[in-house]
Amino acid sequence: MSLILAMFLAQVTVPFAPEQASTFAPEVDALYAYLWALTIFVSAAVSALIIFFAIKYRRRQATELPRPRAGSMVLELTWTIIPLLISMTIFVWGVSIYFRIYRAPHEAMEVFVVGKQWMWKFQHQTGQREINELHVPVGARVRLTMTTEDVIHSFYVPAFRVKMDVVPGRYTQTWFEATKAGRYYMFCAEYCGTNHSGMGGYVEVMEPAAYQQWLAGGTGSESAASQGRKLFQDRGCASCHQVDPGGQQGRGPTLYGLFGKTQAIQGGGSVTVDESYVRESIRNPTAKLAEGFQPLMPVYPPEQLSEEQVLQLIAYIRSLGTQQGTSAAGGSTRGGPGEGGGAVTTTGQSPDMQRSNPVGPTQPRPSQGGGSPGSAGPGGARTPGGTNPQPPRNP
């Protein structure tokens, strides 16, 4: 019965809830409506039974004594098993939604997000930068890789039913797929200081054609990976880290094709070379030093390398060894679906692979510099334990 009710509630709109504008919204609202209906049903049933038993078994005479009652195994099992089954439907349903929301897909547009008191800063893979506004196409999966420059923030878009904490010193990810065009409010849902209430903005969901026009008119001239490549050269990282296939091993690990692989570290054990590990290797190079390398790389604190620059370096490192990494390192490649090469998304994925909605695939222009979403180690980014004996240079 609970499952039948759950299927019915999937089509129900919760009163007073924000507008449903993402693929998650109907599922979250259906679970909420299910909990709401169960609460009303159980509360009404318990109240009715209390009133019924109070009347039926009331004492009719002052000297009346109740007859002793033997326990009932059937009754005990009934009120144990039925609540257990109901609880399991809540658990299974909730877990399925949770893992869908908090496991970001690989085939998605990548947007880097940096929170700071009191604003949201966004950078697209194609180079466009925005503050307190985020433009995305309708029907495309959008993955947000987020960090903060100061205190804990929480990125929340009520219409999408998406909320994720943004924590200092680490990366968090969330994603969404908008289902209809519009302008949707976003804000920080974690108290972050004096002007916390003013830390808000809007997500502008656009039709594919309008989004394509917005991309064409954007001010960004280089992709995040291309900007990361310049940082990599300016900071002298190439003196220790090899970025070409088959090159001679330097004083730090070779970065070509390293992102996403497992790296052995000194002291035993291994780590996956992902955004968090690359960032840690930049900020604290000796924390997880790559096996076989000396601790020669200097530390790059936020004063010398901002979180935005770290994200750009990560994007460059991630692009190394990928098919689209070649153009990423080479600079900007502009053009829409009809300008050289067919329709691809900002991550180099075909629209058909990126979209879960098969109607009207989004066709944003190819990423400038072609880099895949990602991350790179900073100047000399010792990503896994690398080394860079040169002192850090200011940007």
Residue 365's nearest CA partner among 213, 257, 222, 229 is 213
User: CA torsion 20→26→27→31, rounded to 10°?
Assistant: 100
Q: Return averaged pLDDT per consecutive 10 residues of the chain, 395 residues in all.
A: 48 70 90 92 94 87 77 86 93 92 86 91 86 92 91 94 90 92 93 92 92 75 78 81 75 82 84 84 83 82 81 84 45 35 38 38 40 39 40 39
Q: Are 375 and 313 in contact, with CB atoms under 8 Å apart? A: yes
Q: So what's the pLDDT on residue 243?
A: 80
Q: So what's the pLDDT on residue 291?
A: 82
| pLDDT tens digits, one per residue of 352-366 | 443 333 333 334 434
Q: Provide the β-strand partners of residue 173.
A: 145
155 φψ region: left (φ > 0), alpha (ψ -120 to 50), beta (else): beta
| pLDDT tens digits, one per residue of 287-311 | 888 888 888 788 888 877 888 888 8
| pLDDT tens digits, one per residue of 98-143 | 998 888 888 888 899 999 998 999 988 888 889 999 999 999 999 9
H helical segments located in the chain: 2-9, 25-56, 73-102, 208-216, 224-234, 275-283, 307-319, 325-330, 351-354
Q: So what's the pLDDT on residue 388?
A: 40
Give all domains of the chain, ordered by start, each with its CATH number: 2-54+73-102 (no CATH), 109-216 (2.60.40.420), 224-333 (1.10.760.10)
List, in order, residues 6 or more apart from 174 with CB less than 8 Å away: 101, 102, 104, 143, 144, 146, 155, 162, 163, 164
Q: So what's the pLDDT on residue 204?
A: 93
Q: So what's the pLDDT on residue 45?
A: 93
Q: Provide the β-strand partners of residue 270.
A: 264
Cα–Cα dist 284/299, whole Å: 6
List, in order, residues 6 or more apart from 151 with CB less than 8 Å away: 117, 168, 192, 193
| pLDDT tens digits, one per residue of 68-78 | 777 788 888 99
Query: If you search the block for the tokens 């896994």, which residue do you land on?
Result: 384
Q: Are 372 and 347 in contact, with CB atoms under 8 Å apart? A: yes
Residue 280 is encoded by which pair of tokens? 């840690």
Q: So what's the pLDDT on residue 247?
A: 65
Q: So what's the pLDDT on residue 394?
A: 40
Q: Are 117 and 193 in contact, with CB atoms under 8 Å apart? A: yes
Burial class (CB in 10 A: 0-12, 13-18, 19+), 279: buried
Cα–Cα dist 97/88, whole Å: 14
Query: If you search the block for the tokens 């009133």, which residue do you land on?
Result: 51
Q: Are 193 and 151 in contact, with CB atoms under 8 Å apart? A: yes
Q: Are 222 and 369 in contact, with CB atoms under 8 Å apart? A: yes
Q: So what's the pLDDT on residue 138?
A: 93
